[in-house]
Amino acid sequence: MEKNKRKEGTQANPIALLSTYRTQLMGIATLMIIICHTHATVELPHIISKIFNYGNLGVDIFLLLSGIGCYYSLRKRKDKFAFWHRRITRLLIPYLLITLPFAIFALAIGQENILDFVWRMTAMEFWLYHKGAWFVSLMIPLYLISPFLFHKMHITNKSRGGGGNIAIVILISVLFTILSYHRLLDNGQETVISNIQMAIFRTPSFLIGIAIAPYCKVKNTKIEQIFIAMAIAYLTLRIFKVSIPWLITPILSIALAMFCKYIHEKGFIFKLLTIIGGISLESYLYNIYLGNPINYFLQPYKPLSEGFQITEYLVIAFGGLMLAYYSRKYISILINKYEKL
């Protein structure tokens, strides 16, 4: 009976699907990012390259879902220190364990020095050099400010679902976009300031996630209309070759959640997305790191095959997923042990 009520609720409230199918959405976002990262290894035809580039929206889906997750985590346990401990632990333990061998490898073959090693292990290399796991570097400050955002956005009026003020969040998002937009015109020169601007540019999806989280429980048609208007604005701006990902992220995430709803839960695709969603962070890390040692050892063989780039990236993509799957069990054991300390 309770399960049927939950299904009826999600049918009446599309936003609720973001919570119901959160794991599967993370699986889709992971695959989108893996596809997007193809650019780093494979030279693709222009039209295919443009299509694959939309996989970058997977990052914004992650940020949206992270915002929703942070809201409910903070609503369940008000203690901000407990929240920080849990979130940072679940982020940094996988990061440190997976990053360490690749950082040692880069140090051993002379690609990086000891200071580079320190910046990588402390997740500072993105802020300084625009390198490494930038998503992890961004999530650390977002987790730190989440309790403040939760209390500022939280509204006690239950008739409004306790939700954040969407209008204020959109205004802040527009301001962030304006503040960071000129970074797109800096001819590719990366500085600490431009890296901060990039982080600001992607932050709105996280803010929107926190703001809409209450509406996963309470239907609000106006929010859905706002999402449609945002999507229209995104498509309009694309005509002028301007991309603002947070405008399309909510409606895209809901559409993908509807896809998850209508595929059979016992089917292969649903199960696959569930598995990948459960190893999303590990998959992301292996995907960005694995290419370096593979490229190093296989460099002499590159001229021997025209299809080498594609083969190399398939090894990176599937190898990363396999490593993530088999290492997740041991990482989870370490996380559970640390959380009990």
pLDDT per residue of the chain (341 residues) written in tens, 0 to 9: 434 444 544 557 899 999 999 999 999 999 999 999 887 777 777 788 888 889 999 999 999 999 999 999 998 877 899 999 999 999 999 999 999 999 999 999 999 999 999 999 999 999 999 999 999 999 999 999 999 988 877 654 344 444 447 888 999 999 999 988 776 555 556 788 889 999 999 999 999 999 999 888 877 788 889 999 999 999 999 999 899 999 999 999 999 999 999 998 889 999 999 999 999 999 999 999 999 998 888 877 766 565 677 888 888 999 999 999 999 999 999 998 887 76
The residue ranges of every structural domain in the chain are: 2-340
Q: Please, where are the H alpha helices in the chain?
A: 2-12, 17-20, 22-36, 46-53, 57-76, 80-108, 114-121, 125-129, 134-153, 166-181, 192-212, 221-239, 245-262, 268-278, 280-289, 291-298, 308-340
Smallest CA-to-CA distance from 75 within 147, 6, 14 is with: 147
